Structure 1
Amino acid sequence: MSTSLQPSAPISSLTLTVMGSINLDITATANRLPSPGETVGGGVLRQQPGGKGANQAVAAARLAGSSRMVGAVGHDEAGQNLLSAMAAAGVDVHDVSRADAATGTALVLVDGEGENQIVVCPGANGAVNVDGVTFDDDEAVLCQLEVDQHVVLEAARRAKGFFALNAAPAMSLIPELLDRCDLVIVNETEYELIPALRHAPLVAVTYGGEGSAIFVDGERVAEAPAVRVTEIANTIGAGDAFCAALVLALRSGLEYSHALAAANAVGADAVRDASSQPALKPLEHYIEATRSSLAAGSAATK
């Protein structure tokens, strides 16, 4: 672990670098998902930017005003379009390399309730590396596991500031990588599938409609309820938006429960948007919107 959560800083002054996957999402939306061997008609097809890394970098830029992306795309039109989309959202893409492989692609099926099935073709994401990438002393770094875990480990070794890992998709973690994490973020299924997280210093777990919680050395020390959403358009980008928001909220000095509540509110906004890289308000909006509910909850327990 590299640094403390204690220092407080304005959101706009925080630097978040995201290393991870960049994909073209090809999404078919239908009333329901097909069973094996079944054809479901009446779908709507769309193509949009995606990939957990890119989703988190774009969310961070929209929440804090800017972010940086470390990743790889192909020399194809899809790669150029994805770079342009990230840059337009406020992401610094100078550390995104061009690989001799097709840009990563995700084939996504989404039903009328926002549930999804995804097949990922990694392509250029297999070429992601940190050669020539430097990290500042006060820079927060957020990674996931859609790129090679040994590359993630090398990023953790080089990160001088705060290092966060969204351990998705779930897999056994290299012990050194877990040791170097200041924060691990997972959903409840991933938490069950990675037993080593029971002993990690700081873990945030999301529970869908049941909200989220933070565990310190295996002990549940903070939680926040989910924000009720009646109309769900797409759940794909919600977890990624939550990750970016939580890292930024904690780095700004918010205490655990308030940081979770703000990140939950960001995730709720994300599921209302059909895009995997949804439009979001500045993080200060979500922090202020959840401040009164936290105060009310605290008063009710006295």
Structure 2
Amino acid sequence: MTDIVVLGSTNMDLVTYVAKAPQRGETVTGREFRTVPGGKGANQAIAAARAGGDVLMIGAVGNDAYGTHLRSTLEHSGVDTDDLRTAEGPSGTAHIVVDDEGGNSIVVIPGANGTLDHLSPGDEGVIASADILLLQLEIPLPAVVAGAQAAHRHDVRTVLTPSPAQPLPDELLAAIDLLVPNEHEATTLTGRTDPREAATALLDRVPEVVVTLGAAGSLYVARGADPLTVPAPTVTAVDSTGAGDTFVGALAVALGEGRPMPDALAWAAAAAALSVQREGASASMPYRPEIEARYAS
């Protein structure tokens, strides 16, 4: 079983479903509202655990009802929360609008995630014991850098999802083994709008890159290797929230199990395809038997 540590955010997703997202200054009537546990860190942890990984979460929740719910949800999915801190004040929230085409827009309020600005005593040892460290950018950057550098010191494979998109310091990218941006994030990081050009440019800073392309699948590039495009299964999307995190969590499990990259990407795409056919982020994430069945079909 792959040992995965996730250093990242936990949020309660406050999700509104509408026929069409409002434009600036516009008011629309929604059809449904839900509260769904999320946050890119927690999402990746849950996705990896359901895909069959042995997962531990380093993060922070508030001392509110959302914090209790978030911790319970992680534990229910099989994630070890011994290193999930409880901070004074509110938990993080994400305010999400989902339209009838499955698209979404998101505003994140960090809450307790903002307190996670450094590694605590013992965190490096936890990271050192892992096969893979998953990182995102919804916690303060100093903690992300410290986590990546700790993993690098102990030869733990580091996987970074650069979201929310922002300029990344060289000291962080020097400690990253695999970067997994979507098309927008790849463009933000490089200024290149063509995914292949953007991915190739990123190889100057990291050894491997996977650009997720939504319904078009994913693009993999690595130093000294030919680019590889892996298609995604054709499905009707209901809600794409959390699909990228589902992909990364499943990909980490597949890579930790030693699957070749083409197979790992196809397996992760099967997991993401299942998730977009359901509403919610963590609530939509599939379990391993579902992924295996979709991958085999």
Superposition TM-score, scaled by structure 2 size: 0.88
One-letter amino acid of the structure 1 residue matched with residue 19 of structure 2: N
* Residue 77 (structure 1) shift: 1.1
CA RMSD of aligned residues (A): 1.8
C-alpha deviations, 1:259-289, integer Å up to 9, x for none? Answer: 111111111001011121124121x764575
How far apart are the structure 1 equivalents of 2:232 and 2:52? 22
Tell me what 1:93 maps to: 81
Tell me what 2:157 maps to: 162
2:38 to 24, 29, 50: 50
The sequence identity of aligned pairs, in percent, is: 38
* Residue 245 (structure 1) shift: 1.1
One-letter amino acid of the structure 2 residue matched with residue 22 of structure 1: T
* Residue 233 (structure 1) shift: 2.1
Equivalent positions of 1:1-302 (< 5 A) are 13-128=1-116, 129-132=118-121, 133=123, 134=125, 135-159=127-151, 160=154, 161-195=156-190, 197-199=202-204, 200-217=206-223, 220-230=226-236, 232-277=237-282, 278-282=284-288, 286=291, 289-290=294-295
C-alpha deviations, 1:143-197, integer Å up to 9, x for none? Answer: 1011111111100121221111111111111112111111111111111211262
Structure 1 outlier segments of 4+, above 6 Å: none
Unaligned runs of 5+ in 2: 191-200
Q: Is this contact kept in 1: 2:5–2:130, CA < 8 A? A: no
Q: Is this contact kept in 2: 1:22–1:50, CA < 8 A? A: yes
One-letter amino acid of the structure 2 residue matched with residue 157 of structure 1: Q
| SS of alignment partner, residue 80 of structure 2 | strand
* Residue 291 (structure 1) shift: 6.0
One-letter amino acid of the structure 2 residue matched with residue 190 of structure 1: E
Unaligned runs of 5+ in 1: 1-12, 293-302
Tell me what 1:10 maps to: none
How far apart are the structure 1 equivalents of 2:136 and 2:87? 20
Q: Is this contact kept in 1: 2:61–2:112, CA < 8 A? A: yes
| SS of alignment partner, residue 128 of structure 2 | coil
Q: Between Structure 1 and Structure 2, how many residues are aligned?
A: 278
| SS of alignment partner, residue 84 of structure 1 | helix
C-alpha deviations, 1:19-67, integer Å up to 9, x for none? Answer: 1110011111011111111111142111110100000001111001531
| SS of alignment partner, residue 211 of structure 2 | strand
C-alpha deviations, 1:86-112, integer Å up to 9, x for none? Answer: 111101111011112310011111111
